[in-house]
A and B are shown apart, each in its own frame.
Chain A
Amino acid sequence: MSWARKILRVDLTKGTCTAEPLKMDWAALFLGQRGLATKYFTAEVDPKVDPLSPANKVIYATGPLTGTMASTGGRYSVITKGPLTGAIACSNSGGYFGAELKMAGWDMIILEGRSPKPVFLHIENDHAELLDASAIWGKSTWDTEAWLKKHFQDPQMRVSGIGPAGETGCLYAAVVNDLHRAAGRSGVGTVLGSKNLKAIAVRGTKGVGNVKDPAAFMKATAAAKKVLADNAVTGQGLPKFGTQVLMNVINEIGALPTRNHRDVQFDGAKDISAEAMHAPRKTDGKPNLVTNQACFGCTIACGRISKIDESHFTVVNKPQYWGASGGLEYEAAWALGAANGVNDLEALTYANFRANEDGWDPISFGATVGAVMELYEMGVLKKEQLGIEAPFGSAQALAFFADQVGKGEGFGKEIALGSKRLTAKYGHPELSMTVKGQEFPAYDSRGIQGMGLAYATSNRGACHLRGYTVASEVLGIPVKTDPHVTEGKAGLVKAFQDATAVFDSSGLCLFTSFAWTLQDVAPQLQAACEGDWSLDNLNLVGERIWNLEKEFNLAAGLTKKDDDLPPRLKKEAAKTGPAKGLVNGLDKMLPEYYQLRGWNAEGVPTAETRKRLGTAALE
């Protein structure tokens, strides 16, 4: 069975917590987590809702394999309508919180309304209640977790919630759990803040004891773990180097967006790479990286635990940052570093700590600072407004803004709105490196053509976690394709998008897909869950989820115009590297993509497609 078969509905306006049975007929169609929560969300929320109004909802959702011995089975997702994009938002996190929620006996929490005053949700197995959060409102995610554990005298509880960024209206506020794991993107934390919900503290001691066929499940998960261990990426590269293994690789192929996408290669890439994190520092002889760390149930362990040089300007006289904490993953290292031309590894690590502590997305923040630096170099923004000189490459400016953004202080208040709103305000919307208002991650689509289409069509705005064709175009997983051509990329993007939706709905981590295909996932689901989880059906489930998200966005008012890239990527050719001379050929890929999806020329699913998938236009 593996679903807990129970959801918690929390009405923040009334202050009530109610248990409901999980709709198993929906689980059969949408699996769990991302997919099933999207079904609930789209059935209950008006797509035209103002994301920060009480009528928006937030769903915390686990998958059927969350809290099991399947490798990486500890994930949860946060689903809402995103304030940064106006599109459906779905952010995924690891750590230990998701498994704890499942072990308390809940598949999902649906949060609705708005509390009249700051509250937190306390869950201990079946018991759930809203409690006064006035003692922690305004506190960092780190202090909030410490306060809750002390308050309940329970060091084993797990906490997920917002920092100051979610309270001050930063449009890309994250939901942070276990100190440094995050449902980081699209402003899901901003919506929690708008509901006056500070945190969810969970203790679950029931466990997960209802897998359908325990013997088959143990056999299937053991076989799948062996695949991860034997694979060069998941067995060696990720544990040793983390996702940062990509920094030098992506730079060499000329797809590392640099200085707000002016360039595609960064001369400082080696200074902020995985290799640099391993190298002893000149100052204290110690490396930035302390160790790797796994999330719940994960046999890969790609997480980075880092320690900042105590003599570095960012932390000197600030001993609260001298301990080890969540270090740089590739996307954050890129956004805080290459996107701004900053090659100071310690400054990047400091900004990353601050992102976790205050609860904001380092990708959107870093990319927005990149736009600010370009506007500064153009003379549009001045030191007097910014409070600091902010040329590309300034680690001082990066750290300065990282201190401000979560609390909404100084110019940080404007950076907190993201690059789309900021560049528009200062008369240069063309400098916003975004899709649907969300900033790009760390792959330049001039050097990796398929990613241009993946970004443009991603249902949550520009994102690397909705169709990671980098795997094929750069790493050759599952097969190598030429990153410089547009031919064949429409089908590739669709396949990655649909498969990703299944991984995100299962409770497993997407990073397993460096080694696993759905063929490795299917036997694990089949052994754990009632129903048909054959490969064929999983492909259909993934496509159904993707289409339902799309229906929400269409009903929310998004159109073909929103499936687009900034002019810079379509008109300004890459200046250096293997992709020199190339722009992204989105226009050559998009019509074919719509056709393969069974959508009309405007990107709307046809009646036939809706019938085949059992979806419908939303109102």
Chain B
Amino acid sequence: MQKSLHIDPAKCTGCLQCEMACSYENYQVFNPAKSRIKVFDFHHTGRKVPYTCTQCDEAWCLHACPVEAIKLDAATGAKVVLENVCVGCKVCTIACPFGTVNYVQDTGKVQKCDLCGGNPACAEACPTGAITYVDADWTGLEKMRQWAQKLDSQPAAGHAD
């Protein structure tokens, strides 16, 4: 079963544990500047929104790459940057409609979320469940369950007094 990162902004507190976990997983350093997931703080509404690559099926970045440095990981569905192939041309950063593939000055390559090979560190580190890693076909399951629960608390048809 493939899984997807699922984000619930209402649960995000803006602690950035996800960003540190991401940079630690990939670079062995606590460093939001190197994180592939970013938390945006919309101050005037109080809303915090974690945002990262959603692993498009028809991935713009993958198709745009002139040296075929972005490959599909068939097991996870992640689009993965092959660092030894990437030439740092940044065309993928232009092609991506969402901005989730970015250049890294230190390495001269691009980076994007690769789902940590199927065990995403951000979801593991999130203390509130704002980032979860769930069945790719059922990212809406928890929301459906919550709405179903509302119906469950109403009197059943035919049993009204």
Contact = CB atoms under 8 A, between A and B. Distances in A.
Given A292-B13, A295-B15, A69 B43 contact: no
Interface of B: 13-17, 20-21, 23-24, 27-34, 43-48, 125, 127-128
B17 A208 contact: no
Contacts of A291: 46-47
A299 B29 contact: no
Contacts of B44: 323-325
Interface stretch (A185-193, A199-207, A357-365, A536-544): A199-207
Contacts of B46: 290-291, 293, 305, 307, 324
A69 B20 contact: yes
27 contacts: A68-B20, A69-B21, A69-B125, A71-B127, A205-B31, A205-B33, A206-B29, A206-B33, A207-B29, A207-B31, A207-B33, A207-B34, A208-B30, A209-B31, A218-B24, A239-B13, A291-B46, A293-B46, A294-B13, A295-B15, A297-B20, A298-B13, A298-B15, A301-B13, A323-B43, A324-B45, A325-B44
A67 interface: yes
Contacts of A292: 13
A208 B28 CA distance: 9
A332 interface: no
Contacts of B29: 206-209
Nearest to A207: B31
Interface string A300-314: 010001010000000
A295 B17 CA distance: 10
A404 to B, nearest CB: 26
A229 interface: yes
A433 to B, nearest CB: 34
Contacts of B32: 103, 207
A214 interface: yes
B45 A290 contact: yes
A297 B15 contact: yes
A298 B39 CA distance: 14
Contacts of A96: 16
Given A214-B28, A293-B46, A325-B43, A301 B15 contact: yes
B76 to A, nearest CB: 23
Given A103-B31, A324-B44, 13 more contacts: A67-B30, A68-B30, A69-B24, A69-B30, A69-B125, A179-B43, A205-B34, A293-B13, A293-B46, A294-B15, A297-B15, A301-B14, A323-B45
Contact of B127 (A205, A229, A290): A229
Nearest to A155: B40
Interface of A: 67-69, 71, 96, 103, 156, 179, 204-209, 214, 218, 225, 229, 239, 290-299, 301, 305, 307, 323-325
- Identify whether the interface residues of A are mostly helix, strand, loop, or mixed: loop
B31 A208 contact: yes
Contact of A204 (B13, B33, B43, B127): B33
Nearest to A218: B24
A68 B17 CA distance: 9
B98 to A, nearest CB: 17
| Residue among A103, A239, A294 with the highest chain B CB neighbour number at 10 A | A294
Contacts of A205: 31, 33-34
A292 B48 CA distance: 10
Contacts of B127: 71, 225, 229, 299
The 9 closest A-B pairs by CB, nearest first: A207-B31, A209-B29, A323-B44, A294-B15, A205-B33, A294-B13, A301-B13, A305-B46, A299-B127
B31 A206 contact: yes
A209 B15 contact: no
B17 A207 contact: no
A68 B20 CA distance: 8
Contact of A103 (B15, B33, B45): B33
A296 B35 CA distance: 15
B1 to A, nearest CB: 26
Contacts of A218: 24
A299 B17 contact: yes
Given A69-B21, A207-B30, A208-B30, A297 B16 contact: yes
Contacts of A206: 29, 31, 33
